[in-house]
Amino acid sequence: MLEESVQRLEAGDLKLEEALEVFEKGVAASRACGQWLDQTRERVQVLTADAEGQFRLSFLDDEDDQ
């Protein structure tokens, strides 16, 4: 959806009203993708090993703090 919107806008053959509609739909798709990525990132867990070789699961964002 987002890629299609960009292609249609870049083609330059849309009337102004149609271009605005495509742009608005593209912005909405971009926001939805961003929200989905944020939610998914929070759910991703990483298996890490400490200095003693013990493994633990932590959320991906926890790794950024270390």
Answer yes or no: are the C-beta atoms of 14 and 22 closer than 8 Å.
yes
| pLDDT, tens digit only, all 66 positions of the chain | 889 999 999 999 999 999 999 999 999 999 999 999 988 877 777 777 778 888 887 777 655 555
Range of the domain at 7: 2-65
Residue 65's pLDDT is what? 52
Entry pTM? 0.62
Q: What share of the chain is helix, strand, coil (3-state, %, to 5)?
A: 65, 15, 20
Residue 29's pLDDT is what? 94
Overall number of domains in the chain: 1
